[in-house]
Every structure is written in C-alpha cells, then in structure tokens.
Amino acid sequence: MAAAPVWSVDPRTGKQREQVAVEATAQEVDAAVRAAHAARGALVDRAVRAAFLRSAAAGLDAARDGLVETADAETALGPTRLTGELARTTYQLRAFAGIVDEGAFLDVVIDHPDDTATPPVPDLRRYKVPLGVVAVYSASNFPFAFSVAGGDTASALAAGCPVVVKAHPDHPALSELVAKVLRRAAAEHGIPEGVVGLVHGFEAGVELIRHPQVAAAGFTGSVRGGRALFDAAAARPAPIPFHGELGSLNPVLVTEAAAAERAEEIGGGLAGSMTLGVGQFCVKPGLVLVPSGAAGDQVVKSLTDAVSDTDAGVLLDHRMRDAFIAGVAERARLEDVDSPVTPGAGGEHAVSAGFLTVPAERLAAEGAYDLLLEECFGPVTVVARYADEDEARTVLSRLPGNLTATVQLSSDEAAGNGRGPELLAELTPLAGRVLVNGWPTGVAVAPAQHHGGPYPATTSTSTSVGGTAIERWLRPVVYQNAPAALLPAELRDDNPLGLPRRFDGALER
C-alpha cells in the first residue's frame, strides 16, 4: 500500500495548497531515530553545541520572510504574530547557547574523601549527562515556538540530545523548511544532519514513542493525545520520561473589591486575553470567578462590550473549528447557562468570540456542569458568578491542575491588606504560574519562567519554557573513587573548563 500523502492546507479556505511529503513508515521512523542516535557524539563538545544553536538562530532569521509567509498560509495566524513568534524562537536558541557556554546546567559537585564523617565519605564527583535521542511532538498553535525549532528541540540540543520531531499536520510545509535550516546549521559545524530528524503521520508518532533508542519525549497538545503517548511511554519494556503539556483551564478569581475598583479595566483585559490569537493559547483564561453583585455586573458589562467588538477569526484547522462550535453549543444548552455574547460560527471558515455565564453554585458539585471545567479550545470563556468567598473557594477546590492561576485584587488587597496573601496561597497548589492583576496570555522566555503545572497541565514537574527546560533531558551520574586520569574534564580538581561548581561544599563561580 502506498504511503499516505501529507498535504499543506489553507485554513482560510480549507483547500489543499501542496503535497509536502508522505507519512513515514515504521522503517523510516527507525532510520530517523538511528541517524539521530548516531549523531550523539557530535554534540559532546559544548562549544560546538553552542555554535550550532547560534547558527540555527541566524539561519532562521535570514529565512524569516519565506518562513513567515509559509506559516501564515498554513495557520492563518497573521504575519505580525508569526514574525514575533519567530523572533521569540531565535532568541530562545541563542539563550540556550548562552546556557551551554556557562555550564551551570551540568550541576557539578565534588566532595573529597572525609574519613572523620559518619559514615565516612569517599571521593564523590557528580554531574549531569544527556539522556539520548529525544522525540519532540510539535504543537498546532505555535508553529515556530513549540514546533521543529521550538523550546523542546532547543533545550534538548543544548543538553546534548539529538531530536526526532513528529511534525504537526497543520503546518507540514513550514516544518520541512525549518528542519532544513537546522540541518544546514548542523553541517556548518561538522554535525551530521541526522541530529534533527523529521517524520510525518499519526502512526509515525506512535512508532516514535515506542522506538528503543528514543530516551525521552516532549509533547504539547491535547489531553487525549498526550495521555495516550504518556501511557505508551510508560508501557515500554524500558519506560522513558514523557514531558507533556496537555491542557489547562487557567482560572481567574476577581475579588469583590477589585470588581468595585476597576470593573471596566478587568472586563477589557479579560476580553483581550481570551480572544488573543482567536483563543488558541494554552494559557487562555477559560474560567473566571466574578462576584454576583453590582460590581460583578459591571465587569460582565465591560466584557460584553469588548468581546462584541472582536472580529471573527480563523482557527488553525477545520477540525478544531467543528470541535469549537460543537463544544460551545453543548455547554450553552445546560440549564442556567447564558450567552451574553454568543460564541460559535462566524462564517464558512471562521468563528466568532463570546462567553458564557453560570451561577458558581452549579460548579460546586460533580455532575453535568463539569463540562464547564474542561478546556474549550477557541475564543470562549466561562464566567461563574459566585455569591460569597466560600462558594468561590469551593469551585477552586474542584479544579484540576493548571498552567496558570490569576487573582485580580484591589489596590488595598495588593498592598497586603485583607485576604490578598491568603488568596495567593490558595491559588498556588493549582498552577505552575500564579499571576496578580495581570493576564496569563504571553509567556516570557526568561530564566525564572515556569511553564508547567499539576496534571493535566503537564505530566511532570518540569517547564517547557525558560532556561531550566534543559533539565528534562539530563540525568545525574556520580563517580566514586575514580582515578584522576579517568575522570571527564568536567570533574577534575583543576577545573580546566572553568565550570561553576560546588567544591567541598563551597560554591565556586
């Protein structure tokens, strides 16, 4: 049977643009993984790794116009958004190059023998080594930043791990172009092009997670798809780490005092956040707890006015569009659910933004209303009107893990008065990033960033954004009483590589 073709599709029209590739067979997946595995040795030199990452960033910058044009044709996200996302991606590659240069991620610790300790301490030297080939599953909604050259790939390469990327079917042509840029950058530094593999097709993704030479995986996508891969990773004869970002409701709590102080600002900010990128951000606020009194009414009025002025937009593909329309219709049919601005179809290929309201008491117990506590991908949010703080607290206690949780406070509460500190503490167990008087859309690429959270937000405690994302692809190893002549350069007393380390308990820079 001939392999199925892989088509590039224009989501604005639903028409096929061009055939890009064919779906990879099991044999082709095997060849890609073996080529990546064979390229591991070329990444041992940290200077070469850093130079490779910088060349990859420069190559993407040089190809910007063509890449953005192709990305827009396949995703309808618009040149402005995509140009910014590409800049974020190249910045991220350069940032990881800097991390590789610095070397602190190796976490070098050296303890010399101490016979006076109880029990005695032998000579111990610890650092971190790369896991091996990493399988990367591209996301639909970030064709640059969470795709072929995105954070999983950049951090894996920085750790010294080759990658095999399973391309997302929503942007296959872009995936091929970006992979070519990365491979050219690798060749510039004598690294085999197989260090970055690329495969297409659903079955290829399944074969990839099962391959015995794949040592770890990174995934961004749906709960259903991510959980299936996570289970497959755990079911292998030798289970592997699976770092998946699966889904998030990103709750927002608006206090009574905040609503009374700045209702219009809160409503407008919420509208901007929930409709940004046609509601296709993983950190879109999907549930907002608003007081049921007059102050809360003003927040809802402001939200109504702002969302009503939002133009219809195109989702990443027609499958997502159908799921969005069906999802909001199913939610709107529930008793006591109202639609001040009705979300749904916005033309033959587009969708219109909107939001639903529901009494918070409906969400306080298990039942049909649990549907409102599930992520709905697209420009919609649920506003739950709570009667008192206990009711709001009960709803929060029922939420699964999230990437973010936000509290909107009054100026007095933000100054530490009232329940501000208590509310922050209550939100902390729910998410990996807790915001005060902001909106979760927009994830800064910075050393202190954490993009993860309790399940199902992610399947691990790690982050996929920020410098510490590199830790996912490393494992610690310690050498005990190893002769100096046998030690890797990173663990020698004279520190020939000039690495940051902890030496007999003292931190050395």
Average of per-residue pLDDT across 52-72: 98
Who's near 192: CB < 8 A, 6+ residues apart? Answer: 35, 38, 39, 42, 186
CA distance readout (Å), 132 to 34, 159, 411, 464, 504: 11, 9, 50, 18, 30
CA distance 25 to 200: 9
| Whole-number pLDDT of residue 420 | 87
| Whole-number pLDDT of residue 274 | 98
Token duo for residue 99: 């991390």
CA distance 316 to 295: 36
**Above 90 in pLDDT, residue 480?**
yes
Q: Using CB atoms within 10 A of its CB, is residue 275 exposed (0-12), middle (13-18) or buried (19+)?
A: buried
Q: 117-171: per-residue pLDDT in tens?
A: 999 999 999 999 999 999 999 999 999 999 999 999 999 999 999 999 999 999 9
| Whole-number pLDDT of residue 348 | 87
Whose CA is closest to 205, among 220, 191, 183? 220
CA distance readout (Å), 36 to 124, 134, 165, 440: 32, 9, 11, 36
Q: 209-245: per-residue pLDDT in tens?
A: 999 999 999 999 999 999 999 999 999 999 999 999 9
Average of per-residue pLDDT across 17-40: 97
Percentage of the chain lying above the pLDDT 90 cut: 97
Cα torsion angle, 474, 480, 483, 484, sign: positive
CA distance readout (Å), 226 to 134, 219, 223, 280, 381: 16, 7, 5, 17, 23
Bridge-based pairing state of the strands 338-341 and 501-503: unpaired
Token duo for residue 383: 């506003």
Q: 213 and 37 in contact (C-beta within 8 Å)? A: yes
Q: 149 and 198 in contact (C-beta within 8 Å)? A: no
Q: 134 and 167 in contact (C-beta within 8 Å)? A: no
Q: 377 and 323 in contact (C-beta within 8 Å)? A: yes
CA distance 441 to 365: 29
Q: 397 and 289 in contact (C-beta within 8 Å)? A: no
Active site residues: 245, 282
Q: 348-379: per-residue pLDDT in tens?
A: 899 999 999 999 999 998 899 999 999 999 99
Token duo for residue 83: 């140009």
CATH 3.40.309.10 fits 252-436, yes or no: yes
Q: 140 and 317 in contact (C-beta within 8 Å)? A: yes
| Whole-number pLDDT of residue 335 | 95
Residue position matching structure tokens 């070329």: 42
Write the DSSP string, 143-207: TTTTSTTSHHHHHHHHHT--EEEE--TTSHHHHHHHHHHHHHHHHHTT--GGGEEEE-SHHHHHH
Token duo for residue 333: 């049919």
CA distance readout (Å), 109 to 10, 419, 501: 53, 43, 6
Cα torsion angle, 183, 186, 192, 198, sign: negative
Q: What are phi and psi of 375, to 5 degrees?
A: -60, 135
CA distance 326 to 343: 11
Q: pLDDT band for position 413 (50/70/90)?
A: very high
Summary mean pLDDT of the chain: 96
Average of per-residue pLDDT across 296-300: 98
Who's near 509: CB < 8 A, 6+ residues apart? Answer: 500
Average of per-residue pLDDT across 293-301: 97
Q: pLDDT band for position 1 (50/70/90)?
A: low
For the entire predicted model, the pTM comes to 0.96
Whose CA is closest to 288, among 259, 342, 260, 251? 251
Q: 159-216: per-residue pLDDT in tens?
A: 999 999 999 999 999 999 999 999 999 999 999 999 999 999 999 999 999 999 999 9
- Torsion angle defined by CA atoms of residues 131, 134, 140 and 141, in that order, rounded to the nearest 10 degrees: 30
Q: Using CB atoms within 10 A of its CB, is residue 111 exposed (0-12), middle (13-18) or buried (19+)?
A: middle
Extents of the domains making up the chain: 21-103+130-246+460-473, 252-436
Q: 171 and 143 in contact (C-beta within 8 Å)? A: yes
CA distance readout (Å), 187 to 56, 59, 415: 10, 12, 55
Average of per-residue pLDDT across 429-435: 97
Q: Using CB atoms within 10 A of its CB, is residue 507 exposed (0-12), middle (13-18) or buried (19+)?
A: exposed
Cα torsion angle, 423, 429, 430, 436, sign: positive
| Whole-number pLDDT of residue 51 | 98
Bridge-based pairing state of the strands 354-359 and 338-341: antiparallel
**Above 90 in pLDDT, residue 2?**
no
| CATH superfamily, domain at 21-103+130-246+460-473 | Aldehyde Dehydrogenase; Chain A, domain 1 (3.40.605.10)
